[in-house]
Chain A
């Protein structure tokens, strides 16, 4: 299957700083990427959907100005958590959809800890 890679796999930051998480499709062109957030012992909750070259569509309750998503190329999407606070600490997971593939491919996840 196709490979999706996230970086960094974990990050610790101080409250008030911004953190960028990258999601790359390594061997296919990802026309659509999805960002999920997973709190401990909970399920994956969709945050936003991004299509290459257009603005992301955010789920209800997700602040678009706090969670900036950029999908500037067919192989890269970034999620920037701006002015992070401890309650933003979570496991962030991306998945990608590409032409010719029926299934979605998930990244390894990025654990964010905000002190």
Chain B
């Protein structure tokens, strides 16, 4: 499967700052997802988006499914040290299909 274009590759910010990362694809996906992965662990789902144009929040996290179905962004507001980790976007053609992952955004938050 194709690998999605995710940016930025890494971010180094201060606690309290807002963070934004995005993901683009050359092809359409019907589901966009955002995951966080801590070292040595599997990815954990943060937000799932099922409809083009959908804007969904989960606490301090907000994500949107682009209307073209080829992109998505994730915002983290008021970052805290425990937000540190690697964030991956993923696109899925349909339920039951494998996920195509982005290259990841490494987030470092200093107190």
Contact = CB atoms under 8 A, between A and B. Distances in A.
A106 B42 contact: yes
A107 B100 CA distance: 17
B42 A109 contact: yes
Given A43-B104, A59-B1, A109-B42, A102 B88 contact: no
A103 B33 CA distance: 9
Given A49-B98, A97-B96, A103-B48, A43 B103 contact: yes
Question: Looking at chain B, what size class is its interface with the partner chain?
Answer: 20 to 34
Given A43-B88, A44-B88, A44-B101, A111 B48 contact: no
Interface string B81-106: 00000001000100110111111101
Nearest to B4: A43
A22 interface: no
B40 interface: yes
A42 B101 CA distance: 10
Top 7 A-B pairs, shortest CB-CB distance: A106-B42, A109-B42, A43-B101, A44-B101, A97-B96, A108-B42, A34-B98
Interface of A: 1, 6, 31-32, 34, 41-46, 49, 59, 91, 93, 95, 97, 102-104, 106-109, 111
